[in-house]
Amino acid sequence: MVKKFLRLLYALFILHAIWAVAALLVNRPLLPTPWAVYSYFPQLVGLDLWWNIYFSLYRLGWSLFWATVIGVPLGIASVRFPKFGQLFDPLVYFTYPMPKIAFLPVVMLLAGLGNASKIIMISLIIVFQIIIGVRDAVSQVPSSMYQVLEVLHANRWTMFWAVTWPASLAGFLSSLKIALGTAIATLFFTEIYGTQYGMGYFIMDQWNRLDYLAMFGGIIVISVVSFLLFSLISLIEHYCLRWQKDK
C-alpha cells in the first residue's frame, strides 16, 4: 500500500514538473503554472463548480448503470446460449467499430437536449465494451467445470452462481474500468451541447471566456474525479475477486 502511494506521488510529481517547465517555456496566459492554477481554486467554488460536478456524476452514473444492466446479461447470454450468440455476435462485431458519437445529433433530435440524450449516447458507446468484456470472460471458462456440476446433478442456477457469475463479474469489472475512461471522454463531448451544467460545459465555457486559470482548474477537477472513480472500481474489484488471488 505504501509503495503504491509513493508511486502515485512520483507520477504526480513528474506530471507537475512537465507542466511547470512547459508553462515557463511558453510564458503565456493560455498555459498557466500549476501554482497559479491551485491558488485560483477557492474562486472556482463561486463558479457553480459543485453543481457542475453533480450533473456530470449524475449523467455518468446513470450511463454506467444502463450499460451494465444491458451489457452484462447480453454478454453472458451470447456464450451460454449458443444459438442466441450466433445471431447476436455478428451484430456486435459490425456495430462496435462504428463511430457512435456521430449519432449524437440524431439522439438529440429524438431525446432532446437534456440529460436523456447524454445518458443514451454514453450508454450506447460503452455498452459494447461491457458486452465484449463479459462475453470473453465467460467464454474462457473451461467446459469441464460445467460438466463436473452436471455430474453432481446441479441445476442451471447453481451453475450460474458457481461458475458463470464469478467469471462474468471478473470480465465486467475489468471492462468497466476501460469503459469509465471512454464514458468520461464522451461525457465531456456531449456536455458541450444543449446544457448549462457539467464539467465539459464548464471547461469549454471558461475557455470561451479566456479564463485559463478556471479552465485548467476544471481540467484538474474532472481528472481527480475520474481517478477517484477508477480507484473505487479497483477497490470493488479487489474485494469481489479475492478468490482469484487465493488460487
What does each of the 247 residues of the chain score in pLDDT, given as a tens digit? 677 778 888 888 999 899 999 999 988 888 899 999 999 888 887 778 889 999 999 999 999 999 999 999 999 998 888 889 888 888 888 888 888 888 888 888 888 888 899 999 999 999 999 999 999 888 888 777 777 777 777 777 877 877 788 888 888 988 999 899 999 999 998 888 878 889 999 999 899 888 899 999 999 999 999 999 999 998 888 887 776 655 5
Q: For residues 139 and 170, what is the distance between their CA atoms, to the nearest angstrom?
A: 12
Domains and CATH numbers, the chain: 47-244 (1.10.3720.10)
DSSP letters, 26-78, are: H-STTS--HHHHHHTHHHHGGGTHHHHHHHHHHHHHHHHHHHHHHHHHHHHHH
The whole-model pTM stands at 0.85
Q: What is the pLDDT of residue 161?
A: 79
3-state secondary structure of 217: helix
| DSSP one-letter code for 153 | T
Q: Which residues contact 93 (CB under 8 A, 6 or more apart)?
A: none
Q: Which long-range contacts (CB under 8 A, 24 or more apart) does 180-185 make?
A: 180/64, 180/226, 180/229, 180/230, 180/233, 181/226, 181/230, 182/125, 182/126, 182/129, 183/60, 183/63, 183/64, 183/67, 183/122, 183/125, 183/126, 184/60, 184/222, 184/226
Cβ atoms within 10 Å, residue 132:
20
Among the listed residues 164, 173, 215, the one whose alpha carbon sits nearest the alpha carbon of residue 31:
215
* Tens digit of each residue's pLDDT (9 = 90 or more) over 26-71: 888 888 999 999 998 888 877 788 899 999 999 999 999 999 999 9
3-state secondary structure of 154: coil
Q: Are 173 and 241 in contact (CB under 8 A)?
A: yes
**Cell triple for 18:** 512537465
Length of the chain, in residues: 247
Q: What are phi and psi of 192, to 5 degrees?
A: -75, -25
- Cell 471558461 belongs to 206
Q: Are 92 and 204 in contact (CB under 8 A)?
A: no
Cβ atoms within 10 Å, residue 142:
9
| DSSP one-letter code for 155 | -
